[in-house]
Structure 1
């Protein structure tokens, strides 16, 4: 009884005795690893070999950093695990940016073609606040002028203001194409998952079309529309890419449902609609949302590629434009905007997934 009480007391106060010993060993290992990293750089600096061996030293430091973070992760209590994982997720990109800045400042990389993050940030700021009078466009549509345009021209003026935005042009094409491709793709995938005849008829065709580069069929799509340079072809090629991915993923999700769930639904007397609503759709939903994430990334890739080729507005267009005029700071800023849009859209899709699948929280 005394042993049990002392064990509980020790666990309440912190880690068990053996865990504390492991933590002490981890702390000693962390100090030794950090000292080794510092000694490596000091030795190279003293001998004059740091610059020629800089990247080797940086790679060695990265390996040491990974080991140190592994050791720290062992000591993090359960209640601090989420904070530790967020620190790793956001801290490492910040460290990479600092290294990029340092490498550019000290000539380890060519700052002409790989400008420092500070220069890229300055380029992004200039793109954000500047209005291009030649193309009558801006990066985000100058939202700070909305009150002025609303008072002067009403909502039509606000729409004209926002319609100049490259970001909103890209997001609009992605959103419309994503919805137009995802909904019929999910519906057809469900049908193919539950009906063998339809699956056998379409599976080979979908597999053949899936491997085609979507940008390669863009010229064919342009021939379908009366205005081949309008928004229709851009949206349709995104919808086709999303449709094929969602059909294949949804079919796989429906076919992967555990048979015991289907048997339980039938044993409880569920009819076809009830089976679809309460068993098949919820059972396939994890795979469907995994497919939606892949399809969303594909939609972004496709629309940026299309905007490279045939657009006068959009994030892909300005990225390619600044490459053509040899302005690498703003070219990288355009790529940064693409990455930010991808992250924001992914987080939005994850929020929708948590709302539609509350049982997985």
Structure 2
């Protein structure tokens, strides 16, 4: 029986190389972290941290970014989502801590830039306090709903909700957003597939788009019998959303790959089938990108309108506290605006995931 030489199976060097890379990343992270500590400690011990505060902050931020990049390379795939969430929420928390520290050390003027703790205290006071003069509150005192429902039924609950500044702003934004986005999407689809309509309306829409929406608000007020009611506020939001959605939808439809259109025609799709199965799904990513931009524009427009002509709404109370020189509650109002923007954006993303399951 002859001996058969068996060649050894080569062991992949990839795990070893990955381990060496992770080791190098750990060392770099330690060096960079030590650099952040050393830089700030040297400046503090020398009594130079305050004069060179912005240099120290910017340098520390650059080093922190380098640390996070190396941490990202070490994070396993199953924990990638948690790492990205930590970055998304950790950096704002770090900014707030820096803001608090800067206000307490006098790096910024706490009179006009109060620390986050004072802003949160002002937000709490706005939340629990009921203004008897204007008969309004920030969120409508939901803790009193059982009492009012037991006494007056649904009418009592509506009385509580109608006093809410937040609900007033959200209702104006959502109604205007829906009234503007649906016609804008429909007209954008028509302009995308029909060259004649596109040539007729494109220049006009481009001219109207550059107009400041708050500048046409006085004209919009003249259209309604009650110029100080809800109609003008909602209509100016709808106009801003309509222009944006028309332009974005038209761009989305025109950007569809011609191969998909040819494939639909070759399979015998009629006009409605092409619209439902090819054109709308193909333009959907751009449409939702436009919806996010339009939603932010709607928030900006309604807050500006509430600055000028409203007796209820988050914009109104923000401007009111600016007028009476109460910066804590003014910043609290701005914080509520940002929270509403984040909440509405997450709702729009949830809707996008439901309508575009193929992107999961």
Deviations 1:278-304 (A, max 9, x none): 111111111111100000000000000
Deviations 1:305-356 (A, max 9, x none): 0000000000000000000000000000000000000000000000000000
Q: CA deviation at 1:55?
A: 2.0
Q: The residue matched to 1:112 in structure 2 has which SS?
A: coil
What residue in structure 2 maps to residue 88 of structure 1? 87
2:287 & 2:50 partners in 1: Cα distance?
50
Q: 1:122 to 1:263 in 2, by over 3 A?
A: same
What residue in structure 2 maps to residue 67 of structure 1? 66
Equivalent residue runs for 1:146-295 within 5 Å: 146-295=145-294
1:3 & 1:313 partners in 2: Cα distance?
76
TM-score, normalised via structure 2 length: 0.97
Equivalent residue runs for 1:305-316 within 5 Å: 305-316=304-315
TM-score, normalised via structure 1 length: 0.96
Q: The residue matched to 1:270 in structure 2 has which SS?
A: coil
1:177 & 1:183 partners in 2: Cα distance?
10
Q: CA deviation at 1:60?
A: 1.2
* Unaligned runs of at least 5 residues, structure 2: 1-6
- The number of aligned residues is 354
What residue in structure 1 maps to residue 354 of structure 2? 355
Q: CA deviation at 1:36?
A: 1.4
2:308 & 2:202 partners in 1: Cα distance?
31
What residue in structure 2 maps to residue 99 of structure 1? 98
Q: The residue matched to 1:110 in structure 2 has which SS?
A: coil
User: Does 1:131 pair with 2:130?
Assistant: yes
1:3 & 1:111 partners in 2: Cα distance?
69
CA RMSD of aligned residues (A): 1.1
2:8 & 2:304 partners in 1: Cα distance?
70
What residue in structure 1 maps to residue 23 of structure 2? 24
What residue in structure 1 maps to residue 3 of structure 2? none
Deviations 1:245-294 (A, max 9, x none): 00000001111111111111111111111111111111111111110000
Equivalent residue runs for 1:36-51 within 5 Å: 36-51=35-50
2:44 & 2:278 partners in 1: Cα distance?
65
Q: 1:3 to 1:165 in 2, by over 3 A?
A: farther
Higher mean C-alpha deviation, range 324-333 or range 42-51: 42-51
2:345 & 2:251 partners in 1: Cα distance?
22
2:44 & 2:285 partners in 1: Cα distance?
53
